[in-house]
Structure 1
Amino acid sequence: MTRTAIIAGSGALPRLLAAELGNPLVASLDGFVPEGLTPDVVFRIERLMPFLRHLEDAGVTTVIFAGAAARPRLDPALFDPQTAQMVPRLLQAMQAGDDATLRAVIGIFEEAGFAVSGVADVAPGLVPGPGLLCGTPSEADSADADRAAHIVAALGSVDVGQGAVVAQGLCLAVEALPGTDAMLDWVAQTARRPNPQGAKGVFYKAPKPGQDRRIDLPALGVETVRRAAAAGLAGIVWQAGGVITLDRTAMLAEAEAHGLFLWSREP
């Protein structure tokens, strides 16, 4: 008997994937509790090798990473001898950025004999293909989306962020360590368009160029729509096939209520 394990962080995505998979083993990183889901096991990075052996003993052959997690604080006193041997490798990857860290994590799981799947493999319905989900962007909105896509690609090439807000051709904000919500809140509180009567602007989201899409795909949800509306934006645009939408029905209802468009845009 083979089994899939969800390596879960916080948020709703692990629960949605668990519903798709039926009976996965749910393992959450200590300190990052998935929403509406009780983990079967909680693990720490310092005890990674015993955790991998536990997955193997439970019949797990495939893992999928889902949910949000920040870099945890490591306690040197908790390392077992085998995991301690990995510390130089992990620290070197961490110094190179988030993408390098995630690639190192995938490598460790694969070397331990596990296949690593992505969200699009397990639940393709959560990762929309190209198309306009609701509303109608103007020509100015389309131009702002083009500009934002170039900015996000540049940010991603240096492993900084996955989102930007552009209005009237000007970048009002970019996503960095504080995240999407903080960026949209900043736009709502401080950003001003050059022409108050001109285009309201768009929020654009995409994976980093060359990113391994089995892990850390950007995600959008109802709260994103609410904050984009509060920021006075015309709509939300994302790279088709590269962004997870959480509770799309609720997102559509919220966007329509605020008059926002939602656009899954061709890369």
Structure 2
Amino acid sequence: MSAAGTARGPLVLIAGAGEYPLRLARILSDQGEAPFIAALEGAADPAAFGDADVRSYRLGQLGSLLGELRRRGVSDIVMLGSLPRPSFGSLRPEASTLQYLPYFARAFRGGDDHLLRGVVRFFEEQGFRVHGPAEIAPELTAPRGPLGRKPATAKQQALLEHGFSLLAALSPFDIGQAAILADHRIIAVEAAEGTDAMIKRVADLVARGRLKIGKGDGVLVKAPKKGQDLRVDMPAIGPDTLRNIAEAGLSGIGLRAGEVLVGDRAALGRQADQLGLFIEGSA
């Protein structure tokens, strides 16, 4: 059953890189469900899924994947994990995929949001239901309130809300999903480099003395853009994010509850406590 209580049919997990596809596969296995796993070549390692029912596909083998899903009677899809945006020319389509190229040519004519929405529309038009990871396993997302023992102070909460307002205002420009604020001002906004690289950029400014962040100041905010399709593009943080913000001298992280992947909530909360950081989920 999904989080909304809607019955699901046989499920395929289309897996990209990172820990989240593996974690979702384990959650489903623990619940007695054995999804078919389509590991995207160059991103997901099929061997990492152990004894699961897994097969590797490159992006140009879409026709083969669709044929396999129909042969298995699969009706529901969840896509999870990172995948660098490919160029249209790099798809190297096999014969069974050629008929779908005009559709994807249109999807590639835009930013990442446009491309991902096009992927969802494609699968839906082929008769599949596309689910977000939060619908399948809500325990993977940030809860409301602190994950560890340390809550954000009132001053930090005000800084977080300022950051969330900034991200909302930037949404129409389809840039980053995160920002760093300190001393009542915006220090950095995530661009194409990603969240962790943005944090390291700030850490470098601190190390070179070009930026000073006072104790208890400096926060990272992360949230999806307005209208972002969370079924295929949900923001995420992990242990590396916490280590990086600690090294940069920041005090904590603010996340939109239920809209940012955190993986193992308990483990991330313990890590935050060890590093003296807060992680706060906001409605």
TM-score (norm: length of structure 1): 0.91
The within-5 A match list for 1:75-224 is 78-81=92-95, 83-134=97-148, 135-191=150-206, 196-197=213-214, 199-224=216-241
Residue 183 of structure 1 deviates from its aligned partner by: 0.7
Question: Any idea what the Cα deviations from partners look like across 1:19-46, whole Å, max 9, x if unmatched?
Answer: 1222111112111025932571121222
Cα separation, 2, equivalents of 1:173 and 1:59: 47
Q: Structure 1: which 5+ runs fail to align?
A: none
Is the contact between residue 133 and residue 261 of structure 1 (CA under 8 Å) also seen in structure 2? yes
Question: What is the RMSD computed on CA atoms of the aligned residues?
Answer: 2.3
Identity of aligned residues (%): 36
Cα separation, 2, equivalents of 1:172 and 1:217: 23
Q: Structure 2: which 5+ runs fail to align?
A: 1-7
Secondary structure in structure 2 of the residue aligned to 1:204: strand
Secondary structure in structure 2 of the residue aligned to 1:52: helix
Secondary structure in structure 1 of the residue aligned to 2:12: strand
Is the contact between residue 124 and residue 130 of structure 2 (CA under 8 Å) also seen in structure 1? yes
**CA 159–98 in structure 1, closer or farther in 2 if over 3 Å, else same:** same
| Aligned length, in residue pairs | 266
Structure ranking higher in strand proportion = 1
Q: Which residue number in structure 1 is paired with residue 49 of structure 2?
A: 37
Instruction: Please state if 1:236 is matched with 2:250.
Output: no
Q: Which amino acid aligns with 1:172?
A: I
TM-score (norm: length of structure 2): 0.86
Q: Which runs of 4+ in 1 moved over 6 A?
A: 192-195
Question: Any idea what the Cα deviations from partners look like across 1:65-118, whole Å, max 9, x if unmatched?
Answer: 011111124557832455334334323333321111111101111111111111
Is the contact between residue 15 and residue 40 of structure 2 (CA under 8 Å) also seen in structure 1? yes
Secondary structure in structure 1 of the residue aligned to 2:162: helix
Equivalent in 30, 34, 37 of residue 26 of structure 1: 37
Q: Which amino acid aligns with 2:22?
A: R
Question: Any idea what the Cα deviations from partners look like across 1:171-212, whole Å, max 9, x if unmatched?
Answer: 111111111110111111115787654652110111110112
Secondary structure in structure 1 of the residue aligned to 2:49: coil
Secondary structure in structure 1 of the residue aligned to 2:109: helix
**CA 77–202 in structure 1, closer or farther in 2 if over 3 Å, else same:** closer
Secondary structure in structure 2 of the residue aligned to 1:65: strand
Equivalent in 6, 15, 30 of residue 8 of structure 1: 15
**CA 199–253 in structure 1, closer or farther in 2 if over 3 Å, else same:** closer
